[in-house]
Amino acid sequence: MKKGLTTYIALALLLASCASKSGDMTRVVGRFSHDAPESVEISISLLANKDILDTTVIVDNGRFEVEIPKYLLSGAILQTGSSQVGFLSDGSTITIDPEAGTAVSSNKKGPHTNYVAYLDWMENYESEFRTKMAEFSGDEEAAEACSKEMNRAFIEFQRKAAKANPDNVVGLQAVIQHQLYSDDYSETIALFDGLSDEIKAIPGLDSMRAQLVSMAESTPRTAEGKPFVDFTVIQDPDHPESSTVRFSDYIGRGKYVLVDFWASWCGPCKAEMPYLVKVYNTYHGDRFDMLSIAVLDKVEDSTEAASSLGIVWNQIVNAQEIPTTLYGIDGIPHIILFGPDGTILKRNLRGEKIEETVKEALGL
């Protein structure tokens, strides 16, 4: 589960307030074939329901028509009753069929057309991914190979979408998705830098870029085969002297150490706990130990969740973004096996691979 960089995106969109240029309008037209309501609502909202536009449009003899400002940073919604139709206010004429749930732009190569194509591709990809994973149920190796191949196609699609839509929400969303699924931070930075000045001026996006740069710099330094990077955490700010710990208190001290970066709010983190409990109960001893590091989480929530999940091994709480930045971690859980001398042996372990890797390292 990802957090951190996407938080910057939320902040950026929440604070954005880019005004339309004078006369730059979108004409929205539509009709009902039967059971027409008295009016429809058209809105453009950012996160936390911050309204950019919220207007009521009268339906006359089954038809409606209105002009709204062009706005490319967020999708618009036409709502009637419980049904919605999404579109992008791109300065063209948007013809909406509320009963069929479609919106078609007069500009066949414009931002709205790209917006619809992007959303359709994402929906189809998600459906295909679920189908493929169901087909390979019980064959973990085949499922992993298929997942990697589909992930490569996904990243390539986001790369092309970002380059083709530098001035609208499709490009921004594509950059976000690229960051979430690609380990190539340098490429994500390049895609970000290719966005329009209007998008890059959104408050908060400069912080996103700064963290991307930090991740790009840290990832090579903490790759497999590299020595561990030390850090310090004050677990209780009210008692810093007694609660300060260093990563080196646990790593590089003659044991293999499996380290789990997690958080109490992270569902996938909790899903890995049965595997971790099994590994600890099976292999804990003179040659092997474990450490859980709670990141991006409240201390009380980490402590409570650790107790309920059966984490009885060593723990560090209140680490926040310190280790995630140093180790280039943009999604949790992130599980790393360190060698007795602190060398990073394997990263991003999940499921059955955790025990397989530990068993192999121990020569069992």
Taking alpha carbons only, the member of 210, 177, 220 closest to residue 321 is: 210
Q: Residue 23 is encoded by which pair of tokens?
A: 């006369």
CATH number of 17-107: 2.60.40
Give 10-residue mean pLDDT values along the chain (364 residues): 44 44 80 93 73 91 95 93 92 95 95 96 94 85 87 96 96 91 89 93 81 81 93 94 95 97 94 95 96 95 94 96 88 95 95 94 94
| Dist CA 256 CA 64 (whole Å) | 68
| Dist CA 284 CA 268 (whole Å) | 23
Domain borders along the chain are 17-107, 112-221, 232-361
Dihedral over Cα of 183, 143, 159, 120: its sign: negative
Q: What is the pLDDT of residues 306-326, one digit of tens each?
A: 999 999 999 999 999 999 988
Taking each helix axis from N to C end, the angle separating 5-15 and 169-181, rounded to the nearest 10 degrees, works out to 170
Q: What is the pLDDT of residue 142?
A: 86
Whether cis (ω within 30° of 0) applies to the bond prior to 333 is yes
Q: What is the fold of 232-361? A: Glutaredoxin (3.40.30)
Q: Within 13 A of 133's CA, how many CA atoms are on the CB side?
A: 11
Q: What is the pLDDT of residue 213?
A: 86
Q: What is the pLDDT of residue 325?
A: 86
Q: What is the pLDDT of residues 129-185, one digit of tens each?
A: 999 988 988 787 888 889 889 999 999 999 999 999 999 999 999 998 998 888 888
Per the confidence metrics, is the pTM higher than 0.85? Answer: no
Task: Spell out the residues 6+ positions from residue 336 whose beta carbon is closer than 8 angstroms to its own.
Answer: 258, 259, 261, 327, 344, 345, 346, 347, 348, 349
Same fold, 17-107 and 232-361: no
Beta strands in 160-278 (DSSP E): 232-234, 244-246, 256-262
| Dist CA 255 CA 102 (whole Å) | 60
Q: What is the pLDDT of residue 159?
A: 97
Q: What is the pLDDT of residue 47?
A: 53
